[in-house]
Structure 1
Amino acid sequence: MKIEASSPEEYIDKIPEERKESFSKLRSVIKDNLPTGFEETISYGMIGYIVPHSLYPEGYHCDPKLPLPFINLASQKNYIAVYHSGIYASPDLQKWFVNQYKKQIGKKPDMGKSCIRFKKTDEIPFDLIGELASKMTTQEWIDLYETNTKR
């Protein structure tokens, strides 16, 4: 489900009413916990947190005109999704997240490679997502990204 929006606020205005509160809280938790340097934008039709070209001029290897993506937040057809590139790139970070999620929620997360899906808004572990957002600085993300893409 792609939402046409030119700002995060416009994006949130266009999502289903029953998701707005949880979605807005997720956005706040991510913004409040991201290390300095990441910027919020609309990226790939979602709310995105990116490494700007001013910090990483090479940009995203798939399209260097685009900044390096890190986290995206989306309202999909049947769930809210948090796409965290660090979880995909770092097996240790993924293992930490899955273990913490199980401890807090009592079951494994519904995940893809970088996607964490939340079908029930009352099961979103906001504090855990905030902690996840805080785990990697822009420079750590750049270093990990380069290690994985320049093999």
Structure 2
Amino acid sequence: MQSTAKTPQEYLENLPEDRKEPMAKFRNLILESLPKGFEEGMYYGMLTYVVPFATYAAGYHCDPKNMPLPFVSLASQKNFIALYNMGIYAKPELLDWFVKEYPNHSKQKLDMGKSCIRFKKMDQIPYDLIATLLSKITVEEWIETYEKLYKK
């Protein structure tokens, strides 16, 4: 489900009633937990937290003129809330930490893809673990990792 909302507020307002509270809580958690320097915007129909062009003028290699470097996205999908974290995709040690730590914070089985963590039960999202995950990579570290792995 890709949203056509132009702003984060519009995105949240257009959600089904049962998603408004957990998505707003998730958004606030992201805004509070990400290190300084990331900016919120709407990209790919999701709430996305990026390294702004003012900090990293090269932008995202897939669309460098129009897309700042993404780091985290949040989306309300049909059957779950999805958190996309490029840090766990790019840094195996961060992925290993997250997978090992997850059972200490949730009774639910971890459901994830390469960068996507899916939450099907809104009342069982391990917000404290997600806050720690989000705080683990600074803007500078993300740029360095991105350039090392993805820039040609």
Q: What is the TM-score of this pair, normalised by structure 1? A: 0.96
Instruction: Give 1:100-139 correspondences, 5 Å limit.
Output: 100-139=101-140
Q: Extract unaligned runs of 5+ from structure 1.
A: none
Name the counterpart of 2:72: 71
Which deviations, in whole Å up to 9, do the C-alpha atoms of 1:110-142 show, x marking residues without a partner? 000000000110110011111111110000000
Q: Which residue of 2 aligns with 1:97?
A: 98
Deviation at 1:87, TM superposition (A): 0.6
> What's the C-alpha RMSD, in Å, of the aligned pairs?
1.0
* Aligned residue number for residue 35 of structure 2: 35
3-state SS of 1:111 partner: coil
Give yes or no for contact 2:41–2:47 (8 Å, CA) kept in 1.
yes
Listed as ranges, the gaps of 5+ residues in structure 2 are: none
Q: Shift in Å at residue 96 of structure 1?
A: 0.8
Asked whether the 8 Å contact 2:108–2:124 carries over to 1, the reply is no
State the distance in 2 between where 1:141 and 1:122 align: 30
**Which runs of 4 or more aligned residues in structure 1 lie more than 6 Å from their structure 2 counterparts after TM superposition?**
none
Displacement of 1:43 after TM fit? 1.1
Secondary structure of residue in 1 paired with 2:100:
helix
Give aligned-pair identity as a percent: 56
Asked if 1 retains the 8 angstrom alpha-carbon contact of 2:8 and 2:42, the reply is yes
